[in-house]
Chain A
Amino acid sequence: MKDIRYIFAIKEAMEEEMNRDENVFLIGEDVGLAGGSFGASKGLYEKFGPERIVDTPISELGFTSLAAGAASCGLRPIVEIMFMDFVTCCMDSIVNQIAKMRYMFGNQYTLPIVIRMPEGGGLNAGPQHSQCLEAWFAHVPGLKVVMAANPYDVKGLLKSAIRDDNPVIFIENKTLHAMKGSIPEEEYLVPLGKAEVKREGTDVTVVSASRLVNESLKAAETLSEAGVNVEVIDLMTIQPWDRETVYRSIGKTHRLVVAHEAVKQFGFGAEIVASVAEDILDELDAPIGRVGAPFVPASYSLEKYYVPNADDVKKAIMSTLERVF
Chain B
Amino acid sequence: MGKPSKETMVKMYRTMVKIRKAEEKLMEVFSKGDILGFLHVSIGQEAAPVGICSHLADADYIATTHRGHGHAIAKGIDLKLAMAELFGKKDGYCLGRSGSMHLADKSRGIMGANGIVGGGIPIATGAAFAAKYRKTNQVAVSTFGEGATGEGAFHEALNFAAIKKLPIVYVCENNGWAEFSPHSIHMSIQSVTQRALAYDIPAVSVANNVLEIYEEAGKAVERARQGDGPTLIEVRSERWHGHYVGDAQKYRGKEKVEQAMTKDCLLDYEKELLQTNTLKKKDVEKINAEIGAEIEEAVNFARECPYPEVSEMMKGLYL
A: residues with CB less than 8 A from B are: 25, 51, 56-57, 59, 61-75, 89, 92-93, 96-97, 101-110, 141-142, 144, 164-166, 240
- Check A65 against B152 for contact (C-beta < 8 Å): no
Q: Which residue of B lies closest to A165 (CB)?
A: B319
A101 contacts across to B, CB distance below 8 A: 112
- Check A73 against B127 for contact (C-beta < 8 Å): yes
Is B317 an interface residue when CB atoms closer than 8 A count as contact?
yes
A89 contacts across to B, CB distance below 8 A: 152
A240 contacts across to B, CB distance below 8 A: 318
- Check A62 against B116 for contact (C-beta < 8 Å): no
- Check B156 against A72 for contact (C-beta < 8 Å): no
Q: Which residue of B lies closest to A141 (CB)?
A: B317
- Check A97 against B116 for contact (C-beta < 8 Å): yes
Q: Which residue of A lies closest to B313 (CB)?
A: A103
- Taking CB atoms and an 8 Å cut-off, the chain B residues in 94-123 that contact chain A are 94-95, 97-98, 102, 104-106, 111-112, 114-116, 119, 121-123
- Check A104 against B102 for contact (C-beta < 8 Å): yes
- Check A70 against B122 for contact (C-beta < 8 Å): no
From A63, A65, A70, A107, contact of B133 by CB (8 A): A70
Is B260 an interface residue when CB atoms closer than 8 A count as contact?
no
Given A96-B116, A142-B317, A144-B318, A65-B98 contact (CB < 8 Å): no
- Check B153 against A62 for contact (C-beta < 8 Å): yes
Name the distance in Å between A255's Cβ and chain B's nearest Cβ: 32
The number of chain B residues with a CB under 8 A from chain A is: 44
A110 contacts across to B, CB distance below 8 A: 319
The residue among A63, A66, A96 with the most chain B CB atoms within 10 A of its own CB is A66
A-B contact pairs, 28 of them (CB 8 A): A57-B159, A59-B152, A59-B155, A63-B160, A65-B119, A65-B122, A65-B125, A65-B153, A66-B129, A69-B63, A69-B111, A69-B126, A69-B128, A70-B126, A70-B129, A70-B130, A73-B61, A73-B130, A92-B119, A92-B153, A96-B115, A97-B114, A97-B119, A103-B97, A103-B316, A104-B112, A142-B318, A164-B319
B104 contacts across to A, CB distance below 8 A: 105-106, 108-109
Name the distance in Å between B188's Cβ and chain A's nearest Cβ: 23
Name the distance in Å between B96's Cβ and chain A's nearest Cβ: 8
Name the distance in Å between B125's Cβ and chain A's nearest Cβ: 5
Is B57 an interface residue when CB atoms closer than 8 A count as contact?
no
From A61, A74, A102, contact of B156 by CB (8 A): A61
The residue among A65, A89, A164 with the most chain B CB atoms within 10 A of its own CB is A65
**Complex Cα–Cα for A97 and B124 (A):** 12
- Check B123 against A97 for contact (C-beta < 8 Å): yes
Given A101-B112, A109-B104, A57-B156 contact (CB < 8 Å): yes
A69-B122, A104-B112, A109-B111 given; name 18 further pairs at CB < 8 Å.
A57-B156, A61-B153, A62-B156, A62-B159, A63-B156, A65-B119, A65-B126, A66-B160, A68-B126, A69-B63, A72-B111, A72-B123, A73-B61, A102-B319, A105-B93, A105-B102, A108-B93, A109-B112
Q: Which residue of A lies closest to B85 (CB)?
A: A106
**Complex Cα–Cα for A65 and B148 (A):** 15
